[in-house]
Amino acid sequence: MNKIVEKNINGLKGEIVIPSDKSLSHRAIILSSLAKGTTKIENFSKGADCHSTLNLFKNLGIDIDFKSEQSLILKSTGKFLEPKQNLNCGNSGTTMRLVSGILAGQNFNSVLYGDESLSKRPMKRVIEPLSLMGAKINSNDGKAPLEIIGKHLKAINYKSKLSSAQVKSCVLLAGINAEGKTLFTEPYLSRNHTELMLEYLGADIQVENSTVSVQKSELTAKDITICGDISSAAFFIVAGLIVPHSDFVIKNVGLNPTRTGIIDVVKMMGANIEILDKRTISNELVGDIRIQTSDLKACEISGNIIPRLIDEIPVIAVLATQAEGTTIIKDAQDLRNKESDRITAVVTELRKLGANIDETQDGFIINGKTKLLGDCEINTYHDHRLAMSMYIAGLISEKQVQINDFQWVDISFPEFEQLFTSLQ
């Protein structure tokens, strides 16, 4: 489905409630499936990725019953049944990497596969630590499909070269079913939702700086309410800053400090942004955000902030085209391993609009402020975040922009366009 985006001249105004967090929705299903008992999950994501995780656990014998579109009851004995079919992870790296940590320690074999984009993404990053724990995984040269031969796992002390929440979560989920104490250390702290949810469900878990340790644990079922996704809110934050005459409030945004790099960056760039009504929901910090059109200056984004805004970099690149000066984004080479090579894809597509942006091996150099011209066709590379980032660029382009295959947005944020329209 192709989408035509027109320049917004009136500004974005009003109030929206940001939909459910994708990372938390995956983890709510995965961790409550590991817990013995009944869990009510409220505000579960409508995105296709989280439904891939949900259907996968149904295929492992977990009883999941929707009470309404986003509210469900999950019943588990804490044990899984051998699946009768290969397990489909769709487009979702989170599903494949987290679930491999659980399946590696079962007393049955299973196969995880995914779509064209997921089948190209690196899985060695989880195969390596799991193999050190005693797992046996056959792959297509480090890529999906993964054939997982269930084994009894032993704990490890793993020092990861990557700051990746997916790798960390995979090892921790294997660790709560392994003999001994598993330690995982990463260079910079990545999102810590797995740690917080494990703690919430009673696991034996300790955190010290960027090292987490877990012991073999039984989890206790406990109801989970999922807050809104800051990675979805990021598209609105950027749009609010660059679309003239905007002033609106984004409600119910997850503000876990391991995810709020985008807020630190826009503040550094001079944004008018206010955080209101901070509260805690199911062990996660939440708040509302007021955003107003702002004059922005360039900045450098690198080092330990990168894992705290990794998914927001495509839309931050759009933002940087509207900031005075040279914005440098570096240390982000793992962007090449996302749903698309997000470095090449962002540069190729933003240049079509007239942006002054150069590709580096691990990021971008963006000179602003530039007028985006539009009048072109944008490709989306099977990548939901690229589609949404380019929609934002379209809102400030002089002439209309056609975004091809816009349906990829449904992977994480099916409500995206309707929410935009409600602010106009």
Angle between helices 48-59 and 93-103 (to 10 degrees): 20
For residues 49 and 33, what is the distance between their CA atoms, to the nearest angstrom? 17
Out of 174, 306, 310, 313, name the contact with ligand S3P by CB under 6 A.
Answer: 310
48 binds ligand S3P (CB under 6 A): no
Phi then psi for residue 344, to 5 deg, are -65, -40
Listed ranges 161-169, 220-228, 235-243, 387-395: which one lies at the site for ligand S3P (CB under 6 A)? 161-169
Closest distance of CB 190 from ligand S3P, Å: 6
With CB under 6 A as the rule, give the number of residues binding ligand S3P: 10
Start-to-end Cα distance in the chain: 23
Task: Return the number of other C-beta atoms located less than 10 Å from residue 84's C-beta.
Answer: 7
Show the binding pattern over residues 109-148: x = contacts ligand S3P (CB under 6 A), - = does not.
Answer: ----------------------------------------
Closest distance of CB 219 from ligand S3P, Å: 18
Listed ranges 130-138, 159-167, 200-208, 220-228: which one lies at the site for ligand S3P (CB under 6 A)? 159-167
Ramachandran category for residue 116: left, alpha or beta (phi over 0 → left; psi -120 to 50 → alpha) = alpha
Show the binding pattern over residues 70-109: x = contacts ligand S3P (CB under 6 A), - = does not.
Answer: ------------------------x---------------
Please, which residue, 62 or 173, has the CB nearer to ligand S3P?
Answer: 173
233 binds ligand S3P (CB under 6 A): no
According to DSSP, the residues that pair with 248 across neighbouring strands are 14, 291
What tokens appear for 363 in the block?
Answer: 């990021």
Angle between helices 313-320 and 384-395 (to 10 degrees): 20
For residues 156 and 306, what is the distance between their CA atoms, to the nearest angstrom? 26
Q: Which of 295, 308, 330, 192 shows the shortest CA–CA distance to 261?
A: 308
Please, which residue, 190 or 210, has the CB nearer to ligand S3P?
Answer: 190
Listed ranges 60-68, 111-119, 162-170, 244-252: which one lies at the site for ligand S3P (CB under 6 A)? 162-170
192 binds ligand S3P (CB under 6 A): no
Out of 195, 229, 311, 415, name the contact with ligand S3P by CB under 6 A.
Answer: 311
For residues 148 and 134, what is the distance between their CA atoms, to the nearest angstrom? 12
Among the options 229, 288, 311, 410, which is catalytic?
311
Out of 8, 20, 23, 43, name the contact with ligand S3P by CB under 6 A.
Answer: 23
Pairing of strands 136-140, 143-149: antiparallel
Closest distance of CB 191 from ligand S3P, Å: 6
Catalytic residue status for 65? no
Instruction: List Cβ neighbours of 399 (8 Å cut-off, separation of 6 or more).
Output: 7, 373, 374, 375
Which residues does the annotation mark as catalytic?
311
The residues of the shown chain that bind ligand S3P, judged by CB under 6 A, are: 23, 94, 164-166, 169, 190-191, 310-311
